[in-house]
Amino acid sequence: MSEPLILGIESSCDETGVGIVRGNDLLANEVASSMEQHVRFGGVVPEVASRAHLEAIVPVLEKATATAEVDLSDLDGIAVTAGPGLAGALVVGLSAAKALASWLNKPLYGVNHLAGHVAVDLLEHGDLPTPCGALLVSGGHTSLLRVNDIATNIVEVGSTIDDAAGEAYDKVARVLGLPYPGGPVIDKAAADGDPAAIRFPRGLTARHDMAKHRFDYSFSGLKTAVSRWVETQQRDGVTFRIADVAASFQEAVADVLTAKAVDMCQEYGLTHFLIGGGVAANSRLRTLLAERMADAGVELRRPRPGLCTDNGAMIAALGVQVVKAGLPASAMDISADSGLPVETVLV
């Protein structure tokens, strides 16, 4: 039997993505971002994102099908992000997927955005050894997962109890007078800084916190600590290097993310681990995680940075796994679920 040919649509935040995948082979991955429209607001504005999706979905779909050079009638199904994400943005993608599935008379698969960040790694490194650990880290989510089966059994072992790591990057960038989005600019600034210049706190790593939140994250305190440190220096007229603050902040984030990831692998006897999500493109996080996983004897899988951010390929890749698992198609009246838990892979 030939590998499933799936078209995936992603519209959970500010990227409109359409990907086409056959098995683990990526045929097309087209993305239109509305990031520039949100810069002046310092963050994603849901209404602006939704309108941008409406304008981009058809051109992106047309470009993806042209790139893949496949006949839409040959598709085995349409996969689409059903959640989590911004409700209005999700609705645009869902509506497009439903229309396409109805027109082509193809099955519809409403899948989980977070699980897609795990599945996208298959396009680069092949089938996923299970059980496997995963760290999903982005502007809206920071979670540690145990992946027993990508299509049917994902368990959230830990998550952030307040800010996501990417959100903390955005807020610290604002404090430092750097542009939005904060992740890339802080990563760039940190390259010229001293990560040991300032010892910022590592959230939920104290003994009493570890008893209750061993695998959970917290970045709100770190964000506040950076803000107060900067305010104190400015109040006292002390000159400081933004690069040192950026590097020290980034080191605190990478340190706690990787330490808890390794701890989870050791606790559950996991020998394979992957990282996904937009912040997974961060240079320091990728380097430190590779070093610590190697020391722990864990094989690390890291998708290339271009596949870490939101895209349609990850949704198509997950759709392939759902089809191969023989799971039933979604109903045509499924709704967007902005709070869809990662354990629910298929709606």
Q: Binding site for Fe cation: residue ranges?
A: 113, 117, 310
- Angle, alpha carbons 338-179-144 (nearest 5°): 40
For residue 179, is the peptide bond before it cis, meaning its omega torsion is within 30 degrees of 0? no
DSSP sequence for 250-303: HHHHHHHHHHHHHHHHHHHT--EEEEESGGGG-HHHHHHHHHHHHHTT-EEE--
Q: Which two tokens stand for residue 160?
A: 């952030």
**Dist CA 328 CA 333 (whole Å):** 14
**What letter would DSSP give residue 73?**
G
Beginning with the edge strand found earlier in the chain, give each strand of the sheet holding 153-159 in spatial order: 153-159, 142-149, 132-137, 272-276, 299-301
**Dist CA 192 CA 289 (whole Å):** 20
Kind of pairing between the strands at 77-83 and 5-10: parallel
Kind of pairing between the strands at 299-301 and 77-83: unpaired
Q: Which residues make up each annotated binding site?
A: 113, 117, 136-140, 170, 183, 187, 282, 310
The 3-state DSSP class for residue 102 equals helix
Residue type, 20: I
**Dist CA 121 CA 135 (whole Å):** 12
What are the distances in angstroms from CA 107 to CA 7, 78, 89, 320? 11, 6, 22, 12
Residue type, 277: G
Residue type, 79: A
Map tokens 């209404």 to a residue.
47
Q: Which residues make up each annotated binding site for substrate?
A: 136-140, 170, 183, 187, 282
